[in-house]
Amino acid sequence: MTQTIAIEQLHRRYCPVKNTTVALLLVGFFLLLVCVAWRGLHNPAQHWGLVELPFFVLVMAICAYCLRAFKCFRERLVLGLVMACIVGGAIAGFSPSITFRSVESIRLSKLILEVICLIVSFSLLVSSMRNPNIGASAEQMSGGRLINRALLAVFMLVLAILLLGTLLYLWPPR
């Protein structure tokens, strides 16, 4: 009983639809992830050792716990796509002899999944900006604070567009 209450409190506190800060963090994280994936799109495959295996198991366990905690469709979609990216990266990294012919297509598919996650995280940010009264106190609802949040969201959108444009210009796909 107490575990379900803790899971509900986790969702209430960290739901990106209700919390603009979490939505901004998601947008920033996926923007960084897309930049890193774009940069390493044509690098040669690397073989990972067994040292990285516990890290992947831990990250998958955390993602599975969060998948259980979050109830919204878009949150679960993002977590599912992240888990698919992690599994694809683990398969390509731990067994490059099996996937050596399709490394570029695996990396391209991971990049596409990360761009989809970025778009969904922007929609979560827009939802949290449209409904600022959900889960917010009267102190947080002051006019100046809402304008600051809106300006921060617009800044993140402009930054994302500029960064992705710079990536396309400086590092074009081969």
Mean pLDDT of residues grouped by 10 in the chain (174 residues)? Answer: 69 77 83 80 74 87 85 85 84 73 77 86 81 53 60 74 72 60
4 part of a folded domain: no
Q: Is residue 5 part of a domain?
A: no
pLDDT score at 19:
79
pLDDT of residue 58: 92
For residue 172, give the 3-state DSSP assignment: coil
Give how far Cα 80 sits from Cα of 8, 27, 66, 72, 73, Å.
Answer: 20, 16, 10, 12, 10
pLDDT of residue 13: 76
Contact indicator for 51, 94 with CB cutoff of 8 Å: no
Give CA separation, 119 vs 126, 137, 144, 169, in Å: 11, 28, 27, 21
Domain-located, residue 2: no
Helices (H), strands (E): how many in the chain?
7, 0
Interacting residues of 33 by C-beta distance below 8 A, sequence separation 6+: 114, 117, 118
Contact 74, 124 (CB under 8 A): yes
Which residues, other chains included, contact 5 with Cβ-Cβ below 8 Å and sequence gap of 6+? none
Q: How far apart are CA 159 and CA 148, in angstroms?
A: 16
The whole-number pLDDT of residue 172 equals: 62
Query: Roughly what angle, to the nearest 10 degrees, separates helices 73-94 and 53-69?
Result: 170
Total of domains in the chain: 1
Provide the residue range defining the domain that includes 107: 10-170
pLDDT of residue 109: 83
Rounded to whole angstroms, the Cα distance separating 167 from 39 reads 8
Per-residue model confidence (pLDDT) at position 145: 60
Assess contact for 125 and 27: CB atoms under 8 A: yes
Name the burial class of residue 117, with classes exposed (0-12), middle (13-18) and buried (19+) by CB atoms within 10 angstroms of its CB. Answer: buried
Q: Say if 1 falls within a structural domain.
A: no
